[in-house]
Amino acid sequence: MDMNFIFFVLAVFIAVVLLVEGLYVSWSASRGPEAKRVARRLRVMTGGDGEGNGISIRKKRELSGLPALQQLLARLPVSRDIDELLAQAGSQKNVGQFFLLTLAFGAAGLLASFFGLPGWAVLAACALLAALPWLYFRRKRTKRLALIEAQLPEALDLMTRALRAGHALPAAIQMVTTEMNDPIAGEFRIVFDEINFGIPMHDALNNLARRIPGTDVGYFVVAVLIQRETGGDLTELLGNIAAIVRERLKLLGQVRALSAEGRLSAWILSLMPFVLTGIMNLLNPKFMNVLWTDPGGQRIVAGMMVMMVFGILWMRKIIRIRV
């Protein structure tokens, strides 16, 4: 038997084994029993039940301005997730407007049929454009939560100075609302208002942790709740948390600087096939027309898209380093 063939089979076998192991490790780190156990312990420590049933004075956001559509959207489980996404992104739009944007962008993908593209390409264009509103608000939420994390050390330092000056914790929270900028000032203002209206500190802080699903805010909430039950020096505790958050953000900045080349390479490799295909289609449409009309060309394009999706997800996994 040809030795090249044997080496090829062994290489394919090793690649498949490594792929399966990588997928299992990735799943176990995010969805496995250990990850669920840690998440359950964190919910117990913060007093949360995972269902968001805490006491709050905030007015519930309307899913739509139309009563009929409001009742329809209230029956969809995904509506609450989208409403939470919009709230965390700091957007004033409701779920009904989000779905309207999604339908409008998806309908715009039908314009691809005027360029003579096959049906599957038109459906792919509709799906891609329909996903743009979700991607936009998801990116906006990520930027807003990152800004809150960047503001958190300064807010904790401000609270530490207020506590050392003799102020109570609610007064220290109020100082954050008046001295800091949004978005962290608005979130702490909600906490202060809830405490003023009689909601226990425990529930007000848990509501903050639910609105801002960040690790650093979770540390702050857990530390304050434990200190209120066991006692201790809260000023020193908040100062230590601020120092830890600053060091983590500093390390994260270094990691992002070191991985910038990888991110740029990922963008270039992901966009290059589409750019070159568009240029070649403009210069010589007959040459590229085989890919859209011939069944073999369509299978090649479909296989290429599937491999590109896996490649993009794999590169994203490599260059995203959690700190």
**Mean pLDDT along residues 42-70:** 56
301/313 same-domain check: yes
* Residue finishing a domain among 256, 275, 307: 256
| pLDDT of 83 higher than 80 | no
Domain count, the chain: 3
Question: Structural domain of residue 215, as residue ranges?
Answer: 146-256
227/125 same-domain check: no
Whether residue 165 lies inside any domain: the answer is: yes
> What is residue 48's predicted lDDT score, i.e. its pLDDT?
47
Round to whole Å and give the CA distance between 272 and 282: 15
161/229 same-domain check: yes
Whether residue 271 lies inside any domain: the answer is: yes
Round to whole Å and give the CA distance between 125 and 110: 8
Round to whole Å and give the CA distance between 192 and 176: 10
Peptide linkage before 118 cis (omega within 30 of 0): no
> What is residue 49's predicted lDDT score, i.e. its pLDDT?
46
| pLDDT of 47 higher than 50 | no
154/90 same-domain check: no
**Which string of b and e fits 126-151 if b means at least 16 CB within 10 Å?**
beebbeebeeebeebbeebbeebbeb
CA distances from 250 to 50, 114, 144, 254, 255 (A): 31, 50, 18, 6, 9
249/217 same-domain check: yes
227/159 same-domain check: yes
249/263 same-domain check: no
- Which tens digit of pLDDT belongs to each residue from 208-256? 888 887 777 888 888 888 887 787 777 888 888 888 888 888 888 888 7
DSSP character string of 23-86: HHHHHHHHHSHHHHHHHHHHHHHHT--SS------SPPPPS-SSHHHHHHHHT-HHHHHHHHHH
- Indicate if the alpha-carbon torsion angle 246, 248, 254, 260 is positive or negative: negative
310/239 same-domain check: no
Where residue 183 falls among pLDDT bands split at 50, 70, 90? confident
Round to whole Å and give the CA distance between 255 and 92: 34
**Residue pair 219/207 in contact by the 8 Å Cβ criterion:** no
